[in-house]
Amino acid sequence: MKKTLAVLLSLIAAISSMILPVKADIIKGDVNGDGKITSLDSMIVQRAAVGLITLNENQKTAADCNNDTRVTNIDSLYILRYAVGIRVPAFDKPVIDETDVDTDTEEKPSEDDTDTDKPKTEGTDTDTKVQIETADEPEVIKDTNDKPDEVKDTADTPEEVTETNDKPDEKNETPDEPDSIKPDSTESDTEEPSPDESDTDEPYEEKPMLYLPEKITINCGDRTTLNPQVINGSDEGLTYYYEYDGAISYDGTGETVLEVSYASGLLKGYHPGTDHVVVTASNGLTAECDVTVVNNKTEKTIQVGDHTLKLTKEIMIYNDCYSESYDFYDLYGLVVHSTAEPGITADQWYSMWNNGKVDACVHAFLDDKGVYQYLPFEQRGWHAGYPVNNTRLSFEICEPAGFYYDENWEITDYDVEKQQAYFDKVWENATVFAAYLIYKYDIDEDNIISHYEANLLGIGTKHNDPDHWFILHDKTMDDFREDVWKLLDEDIYETDEIIICSLE
């Protein structure tokens, strides 16, 4: 029966190719030229697609439903679906002109898609699938009774067409999935994306990294802490380890340039030069930077109410206290001293104490001209003994020239009237400076004591300054504290530091 059907179809196609003249208007899908689109047209196209019959140019144009200039099994499927009542975009305008073959180009499948659907033999999966889809529509096949006499005999053979319905291929039991043959869906299923498209489908994820500035500059005597940051990740629970050229690094002069705390990342600048620091996180991330130390002297202005005070900073980098002491664990007080060295001004103490021969250092000296800071305020000083040094900032008030101390450290030949103007000015400067330190470092305003009071409290060495000098001008530490408290009610601020000396 199948052989007979094949012969009949070949005959139909041959006769159609002979009797049908070339027309300007061709009905898309009507391959046999009977004016209808039926399953018989689909079967003719199916045979032509595998090379069993040959179509003339009119028939090829009618058979090419997706306008890809080829006659393939997809065209056969389009015709069959239209014949059984399923809407097919290619037949929205079934009557076309030969010059309008690109009307439905957006439905055109790729070459790879059509190749995958092309059957190899007459009994392929596609044949079975077509027959399954038409199994429930026998009346469509019966439409061939209206065909011209030369093809009318095929109307008596619907059973032969549907005989294979009893043996469907298990892999093709889903004939009701219309999307499976749509060119758009087939193209998207089989076409591989370009490299650019795949990049957009899978967004690039940046790897975690440890960040430090490439270069850091600090002044001699200054301190700063490296703060590595984790980018594109979390730093929760991480610890950091800091390494550099060595505990003592050299810039060619044999002097220490930089010291870095292994655990905390605290940088301490010693002498002009550059050192290389490497930071390693506990998760294995690393970062590096160069730290350059410069010898800078800076100035800034402190303003407390109507009182103005100049603060000059020049750290005593050669003093053993700077190199050997550590930062405050808990800063909550202030100790006031006087120098007991008549006539030595605040700026002169730098050259006297900036060496390794002095086992003492306070944070600042002040006189009637201003304040000189010689030790970082974050670092404990050596000024009044244990344990007061561990918790309190300190400064020395410079005493005026014009008197001396005897062998018992008693003040001799001191002219109070002559020294009053100087005393009043340093008193003002000292109270303003004390108010500034309490404000800036959030110190308890009640924790202002003298070196003498530290001795009386049992927390400092045996000294009587500055009370022994204050009393000559009828002043006490209680007066000092009261004046400081008054200043704390005033507006307190400071200007930015200005570099006044730079030796790199």
Please indicate, yes or no, whether residues 184 and 247 belong to a single structural domain of this protein: no
Q: Looking at residue 268, what is its pLDDT?
A: 85
Residue 394: phi and psi, rounded to 5, are -150, 150
- pLDDT tens-digit readout, 173-203: 444 444 444 444 444 444 555 555 445 556 6
Q: What is the mean pLDDT of residues 158-178?
A: 43
Please indicate, yes or no, whether residues 178 and 248 belong to a single structural domain of this protein: no
- pLDDT tens-digit readout, 45-64: 888 887 778 888 888 888 88
- Furthest C-alpha separation in the chain: 150
Q: In 19-126, at which residue ranges do the beta strands (DSSP E only) sit? A: 25-27, 95-97
Pairing of strands 371-373, 498-503: unpaired
Q: Looking at residue 287, what is its pLDDT?
A: 92
Q: Looking at residue 259, what is its pLDDT?
A: 84
Q: Looking at residue 13, what is its pLDDT?
A: 58
Report the distance separating Cα 271 and Cα 377, nearest Å: 19
Please give the residue that has the higher pLDDT: either 168 or 372: 372
Please give the residue that has the higher pLDDT: either 481 or 245: 481
In a domain, 298, yes or no: no
Pairing of strands 364-366, 392-397: parallel
Q: What is the mean pLDDT of residues 116-120?
A: 43
Please indicate, yes or no, whether residues 384 and 446 belong to a single structural domain of this protein: yes
Q: In 166-257, at which residue ranges do the beta strands (DSSP E only) sit? A: 209-211, 215-219, 223-225, 229-231, 240-243
Whether 126 shows a pLDDT value over 80: the answer reads no
Cα 465 → chain centroid: 57
Please indicate, yes or no, whether residues 333 and 438 belong to a single structural domain of this protein: yes
Please indicate, yes or no, whether residues 46 and 194 belong to a single structural domain of this protein: yes
Please indicate, yes or no, whether residues 364 and 273 belong to a single structural domain of this protein: no
Q: Please name the amino acid found at residue 281.
A: A
Q: Looking at residue 171, what is its pLDDT?
A: 41
Residue 300: phi and psi, rounded to 5, are -150, 165
Please indicate, yes or no, whether residues 262 and 325 belong to a single structural domain of this protein: no
Please indicate, yes or no, whether residues 425 and 459 belong to a single structural domain of this protein: yes
Please indicate, yes or no, whether residues 125 and 232 belong to a single structural domain of this protein: no
Q: What is the CATH number of the domain that holds 229?
A: 2.60.40.1080
In a domain, 384, yes or no: yes
Q: What is the CATH number of the domain that holds 405?
A: 3.40.80.10
Whether 293 shows a pLDDT value over 80: the answer reads yes
Letter string b/e over residues 160-180, b meaning 16 or more CB atoms within 10 A of that residue's CB: ebbebeeebeeebeebeeeee
Q: Looking at residue 90, what is its pLDDT?
A: 59
Report the distance separating Cα 303 and Cα 487, nearest Å: 11
User: How high is the mean pLDDT of the chain?
Assistant: 77
In a domain, 45, yes or no: yes
- The answer, yes or no, to whether the previous bond of 387 is cis (omega within 30 of 0) is yes
Q: Looking at residue 6, what is its pLDDT?
A: 55
Q: Looking at residue 83, what is its pLDDT?
A: 81
In a domain, 340, yes or no: yes
Whether 342 shows a pLDDT value over 90: the answer reads yes
Name the nearest CA neighbour of 31 among 183, 179, 116, 147: 147
- Which of 265, 293, 321 is the last residue before a domain boundary? 293
Please give the residue that has the higher pLDDT: either 3 or 83: 83
Please indicate, yes or no, whether residues 192 and 250 belong to a single structural domain of this protein: no
| Segments forming the whole domain that contains residue 39 | 2-198
The answer for residues whose C-beta is within 8 angstroms of residue 7's C-beta and 6 or more apart is none
Q: Residue 85: which pLDDT band, with cuts at 50, 70 and 90?
A: confident
Q: How many domains does the chain have?
A: 3
Q: In 357-476, at which residue ranges do the beta strands (DSSP E only) sit? A: 364-366, 371-373, 392-397, 404-405, 411-412, 448-450
Q: How far is CA 245 from CA 249, 252, 258, 275, in A?
A: 6, 13, 9, 7
Q: Any idea which of 16-30, 350-364, 388-402, 460-474 has the lowest mean pLDDT?
A: 16-30
The percentage of residues in the chain with a pLDDT greater than 70, rounded to a whole number, is: 69
Specify the DSSP element, H or E, that contains 502: strand 498-503
The percentage of residues in the chain with a pLDDT greater than 90, rounded to a whole number, is: 37
Residue 338: phi and psi, rounded to 5, are -130, 155
- Which of 238, 258, 293 is the last residue before a domain boundary? 293
Q: Looking at residue 103, what is its pLDDT?
A: 40
Angle at 201 between CA 200 and CA 205, to 5 degrees: 75
27 three-class SS: strand
- pLDDT tens-digit readout, 358-374: 889 999 999 999 999 99
- pLDDT tens-digit readout, 408-419: 999 999 999 999
In a domain, 204, yes or no: no
In a domain, 299, yes or no: no
Q: Looking at residue 34, what is its pLDDT?
A: 86
- The answer, yes or no, to whether the previous bond of 21 is cis (omega within 30 of 0) is no
Q: Which of 179-193, 235-249, 307-321 has the highest mean pLDDT?
A: 307-321
Strand order in the sheet with 266-269: 223-225, 266-269, 258-260
Q: What is the mean pLDDT of residues 387-393?
A: 94
Whether 474 shows a pLDDT value over 70: the answer reads yes
Torsion sign (Cα): 256, 260, 262, 266:
positive
Q: What is the mean pLDDT of residues 282-311?
A: 92
- Which of 198, 226, 253 is the last residue before a domain boundary? 198
Please indicate, yes or no, whether residues 289 and 311 belong to a single structural domain of this protein: no
In a domain, 123, yes or no: yes
- pTM beyond cutoff 0.75: no
Whether 365 and 306 have beta carbons less than 8 Å apart is answered as no
Residue 68 backbone class (left: φ over 0; alpha: ψ -120 to 50; beta: rest): alpha
Q: What is the mean pLDDT of residues 469-498?
A: 96
Please indicate, yes or no, whether residues 262 and 182 belong to a single structural domain of this protein: no
* Residue 259 structure tokens: 């010291």
- pLDDT tens-digit readout, 205-225: 678 999 998 888 888 888 888
In a domain, 300, yes or no: no
Whether 4 shows a pLDDT value over 70: the answer reads no
